């Protein structure tokens, strides 16, 4: 993957070297930095394989299928087929809040600067910016609004609970 932005300890950084590779289909010889489709990853787990690879969730995948194996994952990618499709935001929120996923959560696909602030609020902490876009420029999109009213993954308390009277 290229054009990676990562947030760690509230510090935003552009990652120069990222060895993760998206695999479109399952193969026998998995590399140490391969990201398998969720269905292929789950099939390997059901067969009893020890899978070191990460997984990626497609737009039609149900993240709740990971409920019993979420603790085995330290890296998940969520695919955005089109920037207008909001299912990836729901997937991220579900992973963080309902499944209590604590590992790295990366958005990839049609990911643009204007989406990054909301993606962060939903639980993403890394982003693969769309090819041809400047990741340094895109980091400006992470700050987003100076104040959000509702609670989110990144700021659980709504504004009325943050304001001191």
Q: What is the pLDDT of residue 94?
A: 96
pTM: 0.85
Antiparallel, parallel or unpaired: β 11-15 and 4-8:
antiparallel
Q: What is the pLDDT of residue 107?
A: 96
Alpha-helix runs per DSSP H in 32-84: 38-46
Tens digit of pLDDT at every position of the chain (165 positions): 788 999 988 889 999 888 888 887 666 666 668 889 999 889 888 887 767 778 999 999 999 999 999 998 989 999 999 988 999 999 999 999 999 999 999 999 999 988 999 999 899 999 999 888 999 999 988 876 666 667 777 777 777 788 776
Tell how many helices (H) and how many strands (E) occur in the chain.
6, 8
Look at residues 133, 81, 134, 126 and name the one whose alpha carbon lies nearest to residue 105.
126
Q: What is the pLDDT of residue 143?
A: 76
Residue 30 phi, psi dihedral angles, 5° rounding = -85, 135
CA distance readout (Å), 46 to 36, 68, 104, 113, 125: 15, 11, 23, 38, 29
Q: What is the pLDDT of residue 126?
A: 96
Give all domains of the chain, ordered by start, each with its CATH number. Answer: 4-162 (3.40.50)
The DSSP bridge partners found for residue 128 are: 4
Q: What is the pLDDT of residue 151?
A: 73
CA distance readout (Å), 43 to 46, 54, 65, 70, 159: 5, 13, 11, 14, 43
Q: How many CA atoms does the CB half-sphere of 33 hold within 13 Å? A: 6
Q: What is the pLDDT of residue 30?
A: 64
Tokens of residue 110, six digits? 């049609």
Q: What is the pLDDT of residue 61?
A: 95
Q: What is the pLDDT of residue 124?
A: 96
For the CA atoms of the chain, what is the radius of gyration?
16
Tokens of residue 26, six digits? 């399952």
């Amino acid at each position: 993957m290229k054009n990676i932005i990562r947030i760690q300890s509230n510090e935003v950084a552009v990652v120069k070297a990222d060895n993760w590779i998206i695999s479109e289909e399952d193969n026998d010889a998995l590399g140490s930095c391969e990201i398998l489709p969720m269905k292929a990853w789950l099939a390997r787990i059901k067969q009893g394989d020890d899978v070191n690879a990460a997984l990626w969730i497609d737009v039609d995948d149900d993240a709740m299928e990971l409920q019993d194996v979420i603790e085995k994952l330290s890296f998940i990618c969520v695919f955005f087929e089109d920037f207008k499709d909001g299912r990836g935001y729901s997937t991220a929120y579900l992973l963080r809040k309902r499944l209590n996923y604590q590992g790295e959560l990366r958005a990839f696909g049609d990911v643009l600067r204007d989406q990054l602030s909301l993606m962060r609020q939903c639980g993403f902490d890394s982003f693969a910016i769309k090819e041809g876009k400047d990741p340094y420029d895109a980091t400006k999109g992470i700050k987003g609004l100076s104040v959000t009213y509702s609670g989110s993954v990144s700021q659980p308390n709504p504004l009325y609970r943050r304001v001191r009277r």
